[in-house]
Structure 1
Amino acid sequence: MITAILDFGTNTFNLLIAERQERGFKILLSSKQPVKLGRGGIQVNRITPDAFERGFVAIHNHMETIRGYEVDEIRAFATSAIRNATNGEEFTEEVYRRFGFRTRIIPGDREAELIYKGVRQAIAFGEENAMILDIGGGSIEFIICNNRGIVWKQSFELGMARIIELYKLSDPISSEEVRALENYFRQELAPLREVVKKERPLTLIGASGSFDTFQALIRHRKGLESDHYFGREILLKDYAKLHK
C-alpha cells in the first residue's frame, strides 16, 4: 500500500510518499514547497488571501507529483499557522473543495507526541533523559524522553515566522536584537527551564532543518564540506561560536 502524506506547515508544505511493507515502510519520495503561510497575518492569527493562493499552488504542485505514483491514499495534516488562524478551517475546506481530501489539524500537544514517535524510528533512546527540539515556522516543540517513553512535552507558539513578524529583524541581525530575543525567550520558556532543572536531560536531539543549517555552518567554519550526515553530533562549544 502506498500512502502520500502532506504536512502543511507555517513556512513549508511537505510531501512524503511511502510504501508500507511487512516490516516498516519504504520512502519513495520526499519533497517540499515553500509557502510562508504565516507571512503578513500570523501575529493576528489570520491567513492572508495571498498566503491562501501560495498554499493552493504548493498543493497543486504536490498533487502533480502524487499522480506519478500509484498512491492508494492521501493523508494531510496541518500545524501551527492553520490551527491558530481564525480562518484555518476555511483554508482546509477550500483544500477539500479543490483537491478532494480532508486535512486533519493537529493540536500542539499531539504534534509534540508525533515528533517523538518520528525521532524514535531513527534513534535508540537510553535510560537517561534526552530532550528533542523541533523548530518550526509557527511553533517549537520540546519533548523530554527516554527509552520508556515521554517524560514531558510542550508546544510553544514561538516559531521563527512568528518571531520574524513580531520583531521585524534586520539582516544581519544586530546585537541589540539578539539581546531582545534572548530576554523574550527567557520569559516565554520559563516552564521549560523549571522542568529541565527537575528532569535533567543530558542530550539535545534536533528534529528540524535548522540543525542541518547549524551543522553546515560549523563545518564551513572548519573548512569542511557539508555532508548532511544524519545523526552527526554538534558540540556545544561549536554551537556557542555560531551564537557569538
Structure 2
Amino acid sequence: MLNNTYAVIDLGSNSFHMKIVEMVAGEPRVISKVKRKVRLASGLDNNNVLSLEAMERGWECLAWFGEHLSELELSRVKVVATATLRLAVNADEFTARGNELLGVPINIISGEREAALIYHGMAVTSNGCGKRLIIDIGGASTELILGDGVTPIVLNSLNMGCVTWLERYFGNGLLTDNNFDAAIAGAKEVLAPVQADYLAHSWQLTLGASGSVQAVQEVLVAQGLNEEVTLAKLQQLKSQCIECGSQDSLLIEGLKPERRVVFVSGLCILIALFEELAITTMLASGGALREGVINQLSGGEQQEDICLASCQSVAQRFQLNSLQSQQVAQVALKFASDIELADTLLPMLKYSALLHEVGVSVDYAQAPKHARYLLSHLPLAGFSKQQRLLLVALVGNYRGNIDVELLKAQGCCSFDEANKLLLCLRLAVICVGRYQGQRCQQLKLAPTEQGFVLEQTSQLFEQAPLLKTMLNQEIADNPLMIS
C-alpha cells in the first residue's frame, strides 16, 4: 500500500476528474491526473430523472478510474459528487453501481459543502490576504464564495451551470444576440436573491476556479491580451461568438476544441456575474474543490504565506543551502530598502533569493539556465502566472549575462521595477559570497542621476579584493550600476 499517496475523484456535472498525489516535502506532487467529459447534467430531464445513457457514460468512466485505485488505501481516497447527482431523483441507482466500480463510497455533497471545499482549495493554493470572491462555474451549479483570508463569509451554490445553460438557451445551436441576452438575463435572475449579500461587502480580489474561466483566459492570451478577465474583454468574446453564427461554426482564436461545446454558456454566466456584482477584474485561482479535498485528506495546514511555503518545499526537495539563501534574501531586502522599492515588490525579491541556487542542483556552470526551466515547470502553489514569470526572470538572471527579454515578458511589474529587483538580487549574491552576509552591513545602495552606486562605510573593498573585482565586473555588465 502507498502510505503517502492520496486520491480525490470529483464527479462534476460536466466532467469527471481524478487526481492522485504523493506528499513530498510536505507538498502534494501530482502523479496522475485524468479528466473525462461525461456531461452528466445533459442527461437530466425536466423531472430531474437521470437518463440511463448518461449513467452508463459515468459508469464507464468510473470503471476506468477504479483501475488506478487498486494500490491505494481506501482511507486515502475520497469521491465527491456535486450538482447533477444532488438534483437527480434516481441518484441512488447511479451511486450503487458506482460504489462497486470504485470500491469506495461516492459522497454526494451539499452545495454549501461544495462551496466551502472550493474556498478551502483556493486558500491552500492561492496567495493573498483580505477579502476575496471565488467563482466556480460547474456544469449544473455555480458556487460563489466570499471570504476573508482563509475563512468563508458568504457561501452560495446557484442552480445554473455551463451544461444546463447550454441545453436551456442554446439548444437550437445558434449563437444569436437573442440567445445570449436570454442566457445572461436568466443568470441574473438566479443571482438576484443573493446579490445583496455580496454587495454588502467589498473585496480586494476576484478569482475564478473553473474551466470556463480557464477557457476565457486561454483565448485572451492567444489573442495577445493579458490574462486578466474584464467585462470589456468578455463582451468582445461575446461579439466574436455571435459572428460565428452557430455552435458548429464556433472557431475563435485560442479556443480549444474540447472547450467549444460549453464555452458560450459559461461566458454568459460570467458576463451576468460581472455586471450584477460590479466585478472589475478576475484572475484564475490556483485550486478549487479537488485541492480542498486533498488538503483535508492529507491533514495539510493552511499557510499564511502560500508562496513562501512553496519556496520552502522546493528548497527542501532540491536540498538548497538555507543559510546561504536566507543571507542573500536579507541583504537583497536591505538593498531594496536603501533605494525605497515598493513594499508590494519585496515578497517576490525574497522568494527569488530563497530559490536563487535551485539551478545549481543540476549544474553550477549553467545554473541560471537550469533554474529557468525548473521554475517554469515545478508546481508553485500561490504564484500567479505573471508572478511565476517574474520569479523565472529574477532567478534565471541571478548571475552571468542578463536576458532582458525575460524581464520584459514577466508582466508582474514594470520593466524598470524588475530591473531594480534584479539589481538587488545580483548585488546580494555577490556581496554575501559564501556565508559573509555580516559584511554587507557596511554597504549601502544609493541612487544617483545616472544609476546606482554601492557605497561603503569602511575600508571593506581594500580588505576584500575579490569582492571589489566582482563588483567592478557587475558595474561593467549591469546598465543600472555606475562606479
Structure 1: distance between partners of 2:116 and 2:150: 14
1:147 corresponding residue in structure 2? 149
Judge conservation of contact 1:10–1:36 (CA < 8 Å) in 2.
yes
- Deviation, 1:223, is 7.9
Structure 1 residues 162 and 42: CA distance shift in structure 2, 3 A: farther
Alignment match, 2:26: 23
Pairs within 5 Å for 1:207-222: 207-222=209-224
Q: Which has the larger radius of gyration?
A: 2
Looking at structure 2, the residues matched to 165 and 241 of structure 1 have their Cα atoms a distance apart, in angstroms, of: 23
Question: Secondary structure at the residue paired with 2:40?
Answer: coil
Secondary structure at 1:76 match in 2 = strand
**C-alpha contact 2:66 2:101 (8 A) present in aligned 1:** no
Native 8 Å contact 2:69 2:102 kept in 1: no
Closer, same or farther: CA 151–165 of 1 in aligned 2, 3 Å: same
1:117 aligns with 2:112: no
Distance, in Å, in 1 between the alignment partners of 2:152 and 2:46 is: 31
Q: 1:56 and 1:148 mapped to 2: Cα distance? A: 36
CA distance in 2, matches of 1:200, 1:84: 32
Mapped partners of 2:102, 2:20: distance in 1: 17
- Shift of residue 21, structure 1, vs aligned partner: 4.8
- Structure 2: 5+ residue stretches without partners: 240-483
The residue number in structure 2 matching 1:228 is: none
User: 2:41 is matched with which residue?
Assistant: 38
Segments of structure 1 that go 5 or more residues without pairing to the other structure are 225-231
Shift of 1:44: 2.5
Amino acid aligned to 2:153: V
Whole-Å separation in 2 of the counterparts to 1:241 and 1:139: 25
Higher fraction of strand: 1
Matches within 5 A, 1:131-170: 131-147=133-149, 149-170=151-172
Asked whether 1:126 is paired with 2:132, we answer: no
Question: Which stretch shifts more, 55-64 or 187-196?
Answer: 187-196
- Misfit runs of 4+, over 4 Å: none
Q: Is the 8 A contact 1:139 1:157 kept in 2?
A: yes
8 Å contact from structure 1 (residues 132, 206) kept in 2: yes
Shift of 1:236: 4.3
Question: Normalization by structure 2: what TM-score?
Answer: 0.46
User: How many Å apart are 1:58 and its aligned residue?
Assistant: 0.6
For the structure 1 residues 42 and 157, does the alpha-carbon distance in structure 2 shift closer, same or farther, using more than 3 Å as the test?
farther
Change (3 A) 1:109 1:21: same
Amino acid at match of 2:216: F
Q: Which has the higher helix share?
A: 2
- Partners of 2:184 and 2:230 in 1: CA distance: 21
* Structure 2 residue 191 is matched with structure 1 residue 189: yes
Deviation, 1:88, is: 0.7
Match of 1:243 in 2: 238
Q: Is the 8 A contact 1:43 1:165 kept in 2?
A: no
Change over 3 Å in CA distance of 1:184–1:236 after alignment to 2: closer
Q: Cα gap change, 1:43/1:117 in structure 2, threshold over 3 Å: closer, same or farther?
A: farther
State the one-letter code of the partner of 2:145.
I
In structure 2, distance between residues paired with 1:183 and 1:219: 28
Seen in structure 2, the aligned counterparts of structure 1 residues 197 and 99 have a Cα distance that, compared at 3 Å, is: closer
Whether contact under 8 Å (1:131, 1:205) holds in the other structure is yes
SS at match of 2:26: coil
1:46 partner amino acid: V
Q: What's the C-alpha RMSD, in Å, of the aligned pairs?
A: 2.1
- Take 2:20 and 2:134, find their aligned partners in 1: how far apart are those partners? 25
Residue 206 (structure 2) aligns with: 204
The percent of aligned pairs where both chains have the same amino acid is 26
Q: 2:84 aligns with which of 66, 81, 103?
A: 81
Q: Distance in 1 between matches of 2:150 and 2:5?
A: 31
CA distance in 2, matches of 1:9, 1:42: 17
Count residues with an aligned counterpart. 234
1:72 aligns with 2:67: no
Aligned match of 1:233: 228
**CA deviation vs aligned residue, 1:177-196 (integer Å, no higher than 9, x gap):** 11111221221101342123
Following superposition, the deviation at residue 148 of structure 1 comes to 5.1
Deviating more after overlay: 43-52 vs 58-67: 58-67
- In structure 1, the residue matched to 2:12 is 9
CA distance in 1, matches of 2:25, 2:116: 25
Q: Which has the larger displacement, 70-79 or 117-126?
A: 70-79
Larger displacement relative to structure 2 (47-56 or 88-97): 88-97
